[in-house]
Amino acid sequence: MTLLARLFVGLIVVPTTIWIALAVHYHLRRPWLRWVVSLLPLLAVGTSLTVLPFVPWALAVWLGLLVFTTAWWFSRRPRSDRDWAVGMEVLPCTEIVGDTLRVHQFRNFSYTAAGEPIPRYEQRTYDLAKLSSLDYFLSHWSGPVMAHTLVSFGFDGGQFLCVSVEARRQRWQRYSPLWGLFRSYELIFVFGDERDIVRMRTNIRRERVFMYRLRLPPHHLRRLLLDYVRRVEMLAMRPAWYNSVTSNCTTNLFYQGQASVPWWMKPGIFLNGFSARTMYRLGFLSDSLPFTELQARCAIRELALAAGDAADFSQRIRAQMVLPEPEPDAERSR
């Protein structure tokens, strides 16, 4: 094999063959079958490079596998009729009349002492004229770098509408960022109660959760919420893939469909455990404290554990919230 052929194998053949193996691996239900089938392209390409002439036979084996897998990959379409995991079965449905937002299939699960969910969907009504705040949650499920992000809209009178963008899993699937790179999950928006969506993470899973009040003008809050409503309607008509990098919980909450994100902001978005620090630098959080002190004040797990399933759960987790100074004349882009 010539030097040029070796470079081609190392830079092109090996990475694409690994991609083929992983693309197959994450779409098979049985673990043993998953490993056996994903090893086949590695063995086929590796054997052909070892025993066959590189041109044309080994190259033909690799190219044939690549073309077949690529065609299968692009033929796959997201669907809404799979056997979904608990909590992923239904999308919220909304209707707006004037300033009234009515949410159907509003999620408000309760949980047993063992942490098992008891599904319950309701209807909630919100007055958009009373929309007054937006809180940003970071739920660290795997160290300081990886976190699930969600937001909660606050209304005068103590109402909250929690919005979580998630990977829509089937019953046999677990969540993995690697799986999320290979069209393993569809995308879902969940509209629900903080006693369900937030408490599941603080009290059931015992994740480290931080809640930050965002500094945004009122008209921006309304525009953001209506954008979520519009996209929920679009997902009901046209399902979409979840992607751990390009279409995850953070990008869908703040950046989907917007102008390109500056390169220097991307680590704080895609490694979303850092996203609060990015927002702090951009002025969207209170600057009355250094970030480390602000972060400590915004930790809510212990407050949530103390609140339990209390009716005033949302108020109690905000007992030590640091409020940013309002900037009524500041216009911020999403």
Q: Does residue 199 carry a pLDDT above 90?
A: yes
What is the pLDDT at residue 143?
80
Same domain, 127 and 198: yes
How much is the pLDDT for 282?
84
Is residue 186 situated within a structural domain? yes
Task: Over range 253-269, report the average pLDDT.
Answer: 57
Tell me how far apart the alpha carbons of residues 26 and 175 are, in angstroms, rounded to a whole number.
11
| pLDDT above 90 coverage of the chain, percent | 73
pLDDT in tens, 203-223: 999 999 999 999 988 888 999
Residue 274 lies in a domain: yes
- Please give the pLDDT value at position 271: 74
CB neighbours of residue 83 within 10 Å: 9
Q: In Å, how far are 173, 215, 332 from 286, measured between CA atoms?
A: 39, 7, 15
Q: Specify if 102 maps to a domain.
A: yes
Q: What's CA 304's distance to the chain center, in Å?
A: 22
188 in the same domain as 65: no
In this predicted structure, the answer to whether residue 188 has a pLDDT above a threshold of 60 is yes
pLDDT of the residue at 253: 84
Count of domains in the chain? 2
Per residue in 218-245, pLDDT tens? 888 999 999 999 999 999 999 999 998 8
pLDDT digit string, tens, across residues 12-52: 999 999 999 999 998 888 888 989 999 999 999 999 999 98
Residue with tokens 């400590």: 296
Distance of CA 81 to the CA centre of its chain: 20
Are the C-beta atoms of 16 and 66 separated by less than 8 Å? yes
Return the residue matching tokens 């408490």: 199
Q: Residue 151 pLDDT more than 50?
A: yes
Are residue 169 and residue 198 in the same domain, yes or no? yes
| Structural domain boundaries, residue 224 | 93-316
Residue 58 shares a structural domain with residue 121: no
pLDDT computed for residue 327 by the predictor? 62
The answer to whether position 228 is within a domain reads yes
Mean pLDDT throughout 75-101? 95
Query: 143 vs 122, which has greater pLDDT?
Result: 122
Distance CA 305, CA 264 (A): 37
Structure-block tokens of residue 310: 């209390």
Helix (H) or strand (E) holding 211: strand 208-213
For residues 62 and 171, state if they share a domain: no
Specify if 103 maps to a domain. yes
Q: Could you tell me if 195 and 287 lie in one domain?
A: yes
Question: What would the two tokens of residue 325 be?
Answer: 């100074």
Q: Is 106 inside a domain boundary? A: yes
Same domain, 29 and 121: no
Write out pLDDT tens, residues 157-185: 999 999 999 999 999 999 999 999 999 99
Is residue 66 located within the same domain as residue 103? no
> Contact 240/78 with Cβ under 8 angstroms?
yes
218 close to 132: Cβ distance less than 8 angstroms? yes
Quick one: which of 276, 280, 279, 283 has its CA closest to 299? Answer: 276
pLDDT beyond 60 at 130 = yes
pLDDT band at 256 (very low <50, low <70, confident <90, very high): low
Give pLDDT, residue 269: 61
Which of 63-67, 97-101, 254-258 is predicted least confidently? 254-258
Pair 211, 280 in one domain:
yes
The kind and range of the H/E element at 98 are: none
Instruction: Using the predicted structure, report yes or no on whether residue 266 has a pLDDT greater than 90.
Output: no
> What is the rounded radius of gyration, in angstroms, for the C-alpha atoms of the chain?
23
Whether pTM > 0.85 for this model: the answer is yes
Count the neighbouring beta carbons within 10 Å of the beta carbon of residue 148: 24
pLDDT at 295: 95
